[in-house]
Structure 1
Amino acid sequence: MATAGNTELVDRFDEFYRNYYRNEIGELAQNYPDDQRSLYIDWQDLYRFDPDLADDLRTKPDQLREYAEEALRLYDLPVDISLGQAHVRVTNLPDITRISEVRVEHHGNLVSVPGTIRSSSPIISYPVEAAFECQRCGTLTRIPQTTTTIDRSLSEPHECQGCERTGPFRLNHEQSQYVDIRQFRIESNLIDETTETPESIVARVEDDIVEAAQPGDTVRVTGVMELAGFGDDSPELDATVNDKYIEVSSIEDFEAGDLLDISSSEKQAIRDIANSADPYQQLIDSIAPHVPYNEQIKLAIVLQLFGGVKKQLPDGSIIPGTIHLGIASDPGTFTPEIIDYASRVAPKSVRVNGNDTTQVGLTTAAYKSTGGAKNWELDAGALVLADDGIACLSRTDQLGQDAQAALESVMRDQEVKASKGTATQTLPAETAVLAALQPKYGRFDKYEPIGEQIGLSPELVTQCDLLFTMTDRPDSDGDADLADHVLAANRAGELQARDNHPVADVDGDALAAASDEIAPPIEPELLRKYITTARRNCVPTLSDAAKDTIEDFYVEMREQSDAEDAPIPVTARKLESLVRLAEASARVRFSDTVTQADADRVTDLVRFSLRTIGVDPETGEFDADVVESGTSKSQRDRIQNIKGIIADIEDEYDGGAPIDVVVERAEEVGINESKVKHEIDKLKQKGEVWEPRTDHLMAT
């Protein structure tokens, strides 16, 4: 039970409750203690009531909390109930303190810190007052436990209060007072905090808020900043706690965009862009402006950043609004620069390299903490940390099979199921994925299906709303333009470097001209605010004209496959992709309506994507299977022909069908030798044919 010696302050809190929180206290009394054990007060309300009292709550929070809880205990209720064990929790402090800004001067103060929960300890029941029974005389000695650790260590009595001996003692569970406690590690991966190793801080929560958040949640924790003790006499802390931690009063949901301070002039600038004749071109030109191509791919990234609308169906099913993109490129095509720039302007992002990432790095890891052998911590992976943001994956082709399967699952389900023993915890991962990859054999072979060359499972590829290729092919006109742009960017960089040098002399006009040549129409900070504002305030719906355009596109594409056994150019999955992309297009203009122009824009984008990656190189026809299964219809036909040839002639020879005879028969039906041998190798890898003897084949 809280006690307070300052009657005047207790009375002030009582008056505050009666003026501002009469209904909330009545509701707490009705639900206490099973369904509700805390009264949440808005600091801004307290400031309006008494600025001095509100300021004291920030600078002397532990003392003022006692007065606030004593006033709650003494509050005159119409029902016969005591709120003596209820908590008073504070929300909505006026200032945000970033993790990187937490200093010793904040010690003992109430602070409000934003971040993403990286890991969590298990919830354990810990004795805040431990009753120790002397095993010699049976006397109970109660010892308050003030340690912040969760490793189950306890402070024991120095001597028995009955027999005055030094024990031994036994913990009496029935006579001890317990509370649930948990530790979160909160990581700073929000706007303008893009260091490779984000700073973090431990937050300790107890009682009714231990389940208020989970790994992957972006939150704002309000609590008292404490210093970890040092020396033999200080409380023992879990080794994962550094020199500072937060005793949490409240946990609130938080969005990365909440950190953005958008001025009135910036709001007007955003409105001007959205209402301009062509905001899309301005946005395209603002994505990696030093990279000279490709406008359609940059448009796709713009739409991914704005995102579609998440929808919940009457049966509870969810249609995600996240847009997934894949860019398969030859080396040296500036793809990493584009990916990096997208990460910079996204309100929330995580960057991952497939070369050094595993399945648990993408999803979750459960591991034993150093605080005790029975303690496990759940560590969120990149896709969970990027929840409600974007995960930028480079070298996705280097992910192992398990990691690819995990990535595909998260892209599809937008969540991660973390298991430890028999317990399963579902973590949110509503994450847009921007994946960059390279061909398996270094560069693209234009004569082979793309699906065979990108090194990703067909299941993973099908989760991409759009997939593009960026090839490096000689083009005299295009190469000249590219060279001009790259050299101009380097010229601007050179002049800027010289301008920053203490002894170099630079022509200011030349520097301004060179910078203007590659400057983005929308600066990254304003672009980030533009995206955030649109995602918050715009929930567009399809107009009838947009629906008709998307439907006509789908039907038209499918009609190309009316012939018997013709390739399927697009699948039904593409319809949802088109809707998401069209919604994002409307958000660019802050429009609540998806127009026909939006639908035209995204159907053109899908056509472009299909031309770069969804065309059978042998027939020139759109074929969804080129991407979604890795095997085009023409290739399937060729495989069946070769398998049929092997089956027809294997009985004519001892030991199976000779490979040279198979090649000869295949050439008679128009399949050249290199493709025959390529398909035979694949059939052997799949176990569909085998070699009973050297250079002879039999079907399995």
Structure 2
Amino acid sequence: MEIAQGHRTVEIRCLSKAVLNSKTAIISGVKLEQDEKSIEREREPQENPYVAKFLAFFESVGKPRIERSVSEYPKKRSLEIDFKELEEFDYELADELLDNPDYLLEAARTAIQSVEVPALEIESFAPHIRFHNIPKDREILVRNIGSEYLNKLISVEGAVSQITDALPKLKIATWQCRRCGNTYKTPQEGQELKQPAFCECRHRDFTLVQNQSEFVDYQKIKIQEPLEKLKGNEQASNLDVYLGDDLVHKVSAGNTVRFVGILRLSPAQGKKIVFGRFLEVLHVEETQREFEEVEVLPEEEKEIRKLSKDPKIYEMLIGSIAPAIYGHESVKESIVLQLFGGVKKELPGNQTIRGNVHILLVGDPGTGKSQILQATNSIAPKSIYTAGRTTSGVGLTAAAVKDDFGEGGWTLKAGALVLASGGLCMADELDKMNNDDRVALHEAMEQGMVSVAKAGIVTRFKSDTSILAAANPKFSRFDPYTPFISQIELPPTLISRFDLFYMIRDVLDRTKDEQISSHILKTHRLGEMISQYSKKGKKMKKTEEEALKKIATPEIDADMLRKYISYARQTVSPILSMEATQAINDFYLELRDMGRDEGSYAATHRQLEGLVRLSEASARVRLSDVVEPQDAARAIRLVRSSLKDMVTDPETGKIDYDIIATGQTHTQITNMKKILGIVKSKAADVDMVPLQEVLEEAKTEGIDEDKARDIIDKLEKKGEIYKPRHGFLKPTHRS
């Protein structure tokens, strides 16, 4: 009985507790309804003091634009407004928009509903109001975005490095009570899912009704600071950016884009007190990717034009490229033309001809190749420096990455060639890069595109990038009696894509050694003086300052040079004159005739196009709209020097482009054919051909024994002949 009573007591207590909880729930529900009503009252349009101001703004300034937007709605769902217009109308309203964007954008959306426009057959007009061109003090570098900008309107510029597919994002959720079947619509804001607190039946068990909910497209991208804004060895900062609705698919990986949006907090993971951040975008504007960051003021434009008229401008520019490195004038002159670049042509039928100039430096160790690359990297308005051993193929082009960034899916991350599009990519120690990774360069160098087919994603990235590469000989130093191509670990197909290639030799010349030694020692001494004087607070003497200026100071200041290059590339697109065209044509035909006489190729169409690009770059240096004969002469001189260095047959002393195209000189190919012909002709009479007989007959053909033995080894490696036994040869195929 006591146990029963005990049970009954427990039941009564449980019942009382349930009743109490029920009452609490009812009270909470009433309180919740009251809170919701109070919130609704607070958000009623007439209580927002900024609605009337925005209504006056739309009526006075934006009405024609709104009428046009209504006629295009809902196909075009955005109304773009220049912030300057709002600032001129009411600067207080504009300032408040920067600091309290959520509240004021809500007022703007409410106000636009009240604008009287011609009636059209649309059920509702609710465009996205997108402000752009906000003040300079709100254009924030990614690295400088701090907590003081949370929930504020800011502008950020960056290069798109990673991008997801378009995904559906819940805009208005329809919830259904599992108990009574009532449905509720809940607007979704932020990144966390919101559902009703209680149903009318006082239960909180809801399910999402997807087919009655509203979704919008959503895309998440990652941007990094533009390379132009980095100084020295600074690491680029990153920021996640969220695009919604009609902003989706507006950008591509590798593009440099300016975003206007509201900085938000992303939910902290677990119970951590450190939050992430992201930018909720209101407006997207793709900026000009080629040196757009370099602003040229009117007085600087005058100085640039003055420099372009100087008859010694080319010498001044050459003296501004790595002045601490002695000599290499032809290489520096070529780099100058590479920085200015040729004209990219866009022809009918989506055909393009690249304007980028590619240069390859191959030299003995310690000749200053890496220093030249680093110096150019510091001068170029937009550039990326990579090194062979630490660079992979996906690092150059694009990588497919699977992580939480892409909501668990695969995303593409842009590589160096894509991020440097419109600028330069320095590829040091190119010969040390894996051959599979180097293959990625082929399409980028010739077509200016990078094709990617990874993880089910098939796309193309723009990589309008000039490449300045450096490599070492296979056995550290050059052998002057061996063709260039056999001394470097690079495939002929890749080398042929370079417009200019230079052999930088360490020549044993006492006079030259003395000049180099004197230059290096003076540079070091002046560097020591600068370091010591700065630590002790001393000032340099005038004679010492003049010596420093003469030895290590660039002819043109680095900042001015960047602006000069940027200005020329943005404003000058020269056209070939008839005289320049004839000069280039004559030189090209001269090279072809030279090869025709020898039965080889001294030039291909790639050299012809390279001559045009270099001539255009030379004209850009002078800010000239016409490519004149002097520009063609400069290009011809550099190409002739390059070909003489790299593709001269050491046996004949003549230019032979077959060295690049096939990896062997025309003489070597001819001799191989002769040896193979001897073996095959003798094999018609005997089963096995004595090696000594082949060597003796080769000698009558003008091939000495050492060369003949070397050719036989090559033929054996190629599988054309084999040795059935020692001292005998046999062709693989008798025909």
Match of 2:448 among 414, 421, 433: 414
- Cα distance in 1 for residues equivalent to 2:45 and 2:645: 73
- Cα distance in 1 for residues equivalent to 2:710 and 2:397: 36
In structure 2, give the amino acid aligned to 1:213: V
- Cα distance in 2 for residues equivalent to 1:580 and 1:74: 58
Is residue 16 of structure 1 aligned with residue 57 of structure 2?
yes
- Cα distance in 1 for residues equivalent to 2:326 and 2:378: 18
The answer to whether the Cα contact below 8 Å between 1:310 and 1:320 also exists between their aligned partners in 2 is yes
> In the TM superposition, what are the counterparts of 1:1-400 in structure 2 within 5 Å?
4-5=45-46, 8-34=49-75, 36-80=76-120, 81=122, 84-95=125-136, 96-148=139-191, 155=193, 157=195, 161-167=199-205, 169-194=206-231, 195=233, 197-230=235-268, 232=270, 243-254=276-287, 255=289, 257-371=291-405, 374-400=408-434
Q: Which moves more between the two structures, 396-405 or 519-528? A: 396-405
Match of 1:689 among 693, 706, 721: 721
- The verdict on how the C-alpha distance between 1:261 and 1:324 changes in structure 2, with shifts beyond 3 A counting, is same
Q: How many Å apart are 1:668 and its aligned residue?
A: 4.0
The answer to whether the Cα contact below 8 Å between 1:397 and 1:437 also exists between their aligned partners in 2 is yes
Q: Which moves more between the two structures, 283-292 or 37-46? A: 37-46
- The verdict on how the C-alpha distance between 1:297 and 1:32 changes in structure 2, with shifts beyond 3 A counting, is same
> In the TM superposition, what are the counterparts of 1:515-530 in structure 2 within 5 Å?
515-517=548-550, 518-530=552-564
RMSD, aligned CA: 2.6
Q: How many Å apart are 1:117 and its aligned residue?
A: 0.7
In structure 2, give the amino acid aligned to 1:126: K
Question: What secondary structure sits across from 2:386 in the alignment?
Answer: strand
- The verdict on how the C-alpha distance between 1:101 and 1:698 changes in structure 2, with shifts beyond 3 A counting, is farther
Per-residue CA deviations over 1:629-684 (Å, capped at 9, x if unaligned) read: 22221111122122223323456766x44555544543443334443344344334
The answer to whether the Cα contact below 8 Å between 1:325 and 1:466 also exists between their aligned partners in 2 is yes
Percent identical among aligned pairs is: 34
Question: What secondary structure sits across from 2:154 in the alignment?
Answer: strand
The answer to whether the Cα contact below 8 Å between 1:118 and 1:380 also exists between their aligned partners in 2 is yes
Extract unaligned runs of 5+ from structure 2: 1-39
Partner of 2:14: none
Q: How many Å apart are 1:431 and its aligned residue?
A: 0.8
- Cα distance in 1 for residues equivalent to 2:113 and 2:690: 92
The answer to whether the Cα contact below 8 Å between 2:227 and 2:236 also exists between their aligned partners in 1 is no
- Cα distance in 2 for residues equivalent to 1:456 and 1:399: 9
Question: What secondary structure sits across from 1:342 in the alignment?
Answer: helix
Question: What secondary structure sits across from 1:567 in the alignment?
Answer: coil
Partner of 2:606: 573
In structure 2, give the amino acid aligned to 1:220: R
- The verdict on how the C-alpha distance between 1:307 and 1:23 changes in structure 2, with shifts beyond 3 A counting, is farther
Question: What secondary structure sits across from 2:323 in the alignment?
Answer: coil
Q: How many Å apart are 1:356 and its aligned residue?
A: 1.9
- The verdict on how the C-alpha distance between 1:639 and 1:225 changes in structure 2, with shifts beyond 3 A counting, is same
Question: What secondary structure sits across from 2:227 in the alignment?
Answer: coil
- Cα distance in 1 for residues equivalent to 2:520 and 2:113: 70
The answer to whether the Cα contact below 8 Å between 2:364 and 2:472 also exists between their aligned partners in 1 is yes
Partner of 1:151: none
In structure 2, give the amino acid aligned to 1:225: L
Question: What secondary structure sits across from 2:365 in the alignment?
Answer: coil
Is residue 459 of structure 1 aligned with residue 493 of structure 2?
yes
Per-residue CA deviations over 1:516-566 (Å, capped at 9, x if unaligned) read: 122111111111111011111111111111111111111222222342x52
In structure 2, give the amino acid aligned to 1:642: I
- The verdict on how the C-alpha distance between 1:258 and 1:51 changes in structure 2, with shifts beyond 3 A counting, is farther
Question: What secondary structure sits across from 2:440 in the alignment?
Answer: helix
The answer to whether the Cα contact below 8 Å between 1:139 and 1:160 also exists between their aligned partners in 2 is no
- The verdict on how the C-alpha distance between 1:23 and 1:484 changes in structure 2, with shifts beyond 3 A counting, is farther
In structure 1, give the amino acid aligned to 2:189: T
- Cα distance in 1 for residues equivalent to 2:420 and 2:166: 24
Per-residue CA deviations over 1:585-616 (Å, capped at 9, x if unaligned) read: 11111111111111111111111111111211
Is residue 481 of structure 1 aligned with residue 522 of structure 2?
no
Q: How many Å apart are 1:263 and its aligned residue?
A: 3.9
> Normalised by the size of structure 2, how large is the TM-score?
0.87
Is residue 669 of structure 1 aligned with residue 701 of structure 2?
yes
- The verdict on how the C-alpha distance between 1:676 and 1:47 changes in structure 2, with shifts beyond 3 A counting, is farther
Per-residue CA deviations over 1:78-119 (Å, capped at 9, x if unaligned) read: 132366431011222231321122222222222111221111
Partner of 1:644: 677
Partner of 2:467: 433
Partner of 1:547: 581
Partner of 1:589: 622
- Cα distance in 2 for residues equivalent to 1:197 and 1:667: 63
Q: Which moves more between the two structures, 137-146 or 289-298? A: 137-146
- Cα distance in 1 for residues equivalent to 2:397 and 2:315: 36
The answer to whether the Cα contact below 8 Å between 1:541 and 1:594 also exists between their aligned partners in 2 is yes
**Over alpha carbons, which structure has the higher Rg?**
2
Partner of 2:502: 468
> Normalised by the size of structure 1, how large is the TM-score?
0.92
Structure with greater proportional helix content: 2
Question: What secondary structure sits across from 1:132 in the alignment?
Answer: strand
Q: How many Å apart are 1:161 and its aligned residue?
A: 1.4
Match of 1:610 among 635, 643, 651: 643
- The verdict on how the C-alpha distance between 1:406 and 1:685 changes in structure 2, with shifts beyond 3 A counting, is farther
- Cα distance in 2 for residues equivalent to 1:272 and 1:680: 63
Extract unaligned runs of 5+ from structure 1: 149-153
Question: What secondary structure sits across from 1:21 in the alignment?
Answer: helix
